[in-house]
Amino acid sequence: MLRSYQSVTTDIVIFTIEQEELKVLLIKRAKEPFKNKWALPGGFILENEEPEKAALRVLKNKAGVSNIYMEQLYTFPGSGRDPRGNVITITYFALAPTEKIKIQKSKETQTPTFYSLKKLPQLAFDHKKIITYALKRLRSKLEYTNVVYSLLPQFFTFNQLQEAYETILDRELDKRNFRKKFILLNLIRSTKKVHKGIRQRPAQLYQFISCRPTELKKFF
Amino acid sequence: MLRSYQSVTTDIVIFTIEQEELKVLLIKRAKEPFKNKWALPGGFILENEEPEKAALRVLKNKAGVSNIYMEQLYTFPGSGRDPRGNVITITYFALAPTEKIKIQKSKETQTPTFYSLKKLPQLAFDHKKIITYALKRLRSKLEYTNVVYSLLPQFFTFNQLQEAYETILDRELDKRNFRKKFILLNLIRSTKKVHKGIRQRPAQLYQFISCRPTELKKFF
DNA sequence: CCAAAAGTGTTGACTGTACACCCATGT
DNA sequence: ACATGGGTGTACAGTCAACACTTTTGG
């Protein structure tokens, strides 16, 4: 049987929430193709490297972050990083609270920046399509998994939780109904701590009972 | 940046329904590795071939079928077809009514056979895992898309439709509730034709209004 | 005592589920 | 006339969506 070899890259959509906006990490390319255009962080998968390992490596190098939620998105055909040949890219999406992300600069990647999904610049390759796909996946994952835990700090208020949902889904939710539903899900536990807001009544802090990806029966 | 080349394969999970059982197409491997073990049809992706094109080519060659529902499943790391190196496999799943499938024999692939998911033989590589993953995807797709159209003949009775659901989900459904729900979805249209059963009252034949993949609001 | 966010329940509409009988046909 | 699968309706329960006021704190 014929055997052929291809170059394989990985690109990662790293979402975070900052100032009530859903943002994605972009870097400015230092090299051709698409020199000086914004793109998703990514790179070639090395010899004998598993794709997921490669994605984790990129996450570590470009965003200084590990131990966060990441999953494979889709494998796209050669919209290639390599202008010469046939390239496929295995894409991933990851979620992290802003605090955990320590953006790393390098020779190759200038000015890594979080861009609001509502104000994306022109993007290299087919990265616009990839981000759109990732957003769709993220929204649907919100509805039947507990992945939000990956966007919130360890202790958080109910309002922070709700705002995370509202930001990602881009619509408002009813406060009372949201609480009721979420409590029934049994994913979070109230703690003794409170969040001392500057002027108002302090809010109770919650934490996730489990910070592992879990599928729910039903939701939203 | 480092550039490396990998061999990339594709494997396809082709589902069909036969005798009220959900079956998957397997071939017996003629070569090492896993010579004489059952495996999913698949093969190397050729130079400058898009992964999806490769999958369609395999579908055509191994199952003699085109123009059926197919989607990408997941990209697995090197559980490789190639014993020497690092191989990744981009997997797809496809659905076709038994009538459409014309199994093709070739030098390389002996005895292509449909196996019931309940009686799978020992499988090469990590193909068991891939099939499990495909089944999970198929079941959830049933609930929010119209993909069943791809498993049924052009004209079908309500009972055939319901049996398809029951077979895939592996549980019984209530006849009246199923009809009500499905009619509300507006996916199928009744035709003037009837299915002349041998002894009983003839059943009305239906057809899908659209045979393109469509996402539903809600279902099941 | 005022501003600001925290916290809490009820009702009506809708959706899903359980369930049993008559109908049309071929033999 | 009977055996076989085709076809239909209702009632109850559970879930979802809409909605407004009281509480606690800091300044």
pLDDT given at position B5 = 78
Question: Token pair 């807001």 is at which residue?
Answer: A197
Smallest Cβ–Cβ distance between A3 and the set B49, B72, B82 belongs to: B82
Asked if A197 CB < 7 A from strand C, the reply is yes
Distance between the alpha carbon (CA) of A197 and the C1' atom of C7, Å: 15
For chain A, 220 residues long, give each residue's pLDDT as a single digit of tens. 556 778 899 999 999 999 999 999 999 988 888 899 999 999 999 988 999 999 999 999 988 999 999 999 999 997 656 666 678 999 999 999 999 998 877 666 668 999 999 999 999 999 999 999 999 999 999 999 999 999 999 999 999 999 999 999 999 999 999 999 999 999 999 998 888 877 899 999 999 999 999 998 777 7
Asked if A50's CB is within 8 angstroms of B75's CB, the reply is no
Asked if B75's CB is within 8 angstroms of A4's CB, the reply is no
Mean pLDDT, rounded, for B102-127: 86
Superfamily of domain B7-134: Nucleoside Triphosphate Pyrophosphohydrolase (3.90.79.10)
Residue B85, pLDDT > 80, answer no
> Which residues of A, range 31-90, sit inside 8 Å of B by Cβ?
31, 43-52, 72, 74-75, 77-78, 82, 85-86, 88, 90
Residue B10, pLDDT > 80, answer yes
Greater pLDDT, B79 or B98:
B98
Closest CA to B102 of B112, B90, B116, B115: B112
pLDDT given at position A195 = 84
Provide, as residue numbers in chain B, all residues whose Cβ is less than 8 Å from the Cβ of A43: 1-2
Mean pLDDT, rounded, for B53-61: 95
What is the SS3 assignment for chain A? Answer: CCCCEEEEEEEEEEEEEECCEEEEEEEEECCCCCCCCEECCEEECCCCCCHHHHHHHHHHHHHCCCCCEEEEEEEECCCCCCCCCCEEEEEEEEECCHHHCCCCCCCCEEEEEEEEHHHCCCECCCHHHHHHHHHHHHHHHHHHECHHHHHCCCCEEHHHHHHHHHHHHCCCCCHHHHHHHHHHHCCEEEEEEEECCCCCCCEEEEEECCCCCCECCCCC
Asked if B45's CB is within 8 angstroms of A6's CB, the reply is yes
pLDDT given at position B30 = 84
pTM of the predicted model as reported, rounded to 2 decimal places: 0.93
Residue B43, pLDDT > 60, answer yes
Provide, as residue numbers in chain B, all residues whose Cβ is less than 8 Å from the Cβ of A140: none
Q: Name the minimum distance, in Å, from the CA of A74 to any CA of chain B.
A: 7
User: Rounded to whole angstroms, how far apart are CA atoms A37 and A27?
Assistant: 8
Greater pLDDT, B34 or A136:
A136
Architecture of domain B144-208: Orthogonal Bundle (1.10)
Q: Cα B200 from chain centroid?
A: 32
pLDDT given at position A7 = 87
Residue B82, pLDDT > 70, answer no
Active-site residue set of B:
108
Residue A5 contacts B where some CB pair is shorter than 8 Å: yes
Distance between the alpha carbon (CA) of A82 and the C1' atom of C10, Å: 62
Domain boundaries, chain A: 7-134, 144-208
pLDDT given at position B196 = 78
Confidence class for position B3, pLDDT limits 50, 70, 90: low
> Which residues of A, range 86-125, sit inside 8 Å of B by Cβ?
86, 88, 90, 108
Which positions on strand D lie below 7 Å from a protein C-beta?
3-10, 15-20, 23-27
pLDDT given at position B108 = 60
Q: What is the pLDDT of residues B116-162, one digit of tens each?
A: 999 999 999 999 999 999 999 999 999 999 999 999 999 999 999 99
Greater pLDDT, B103 or A92:
A92
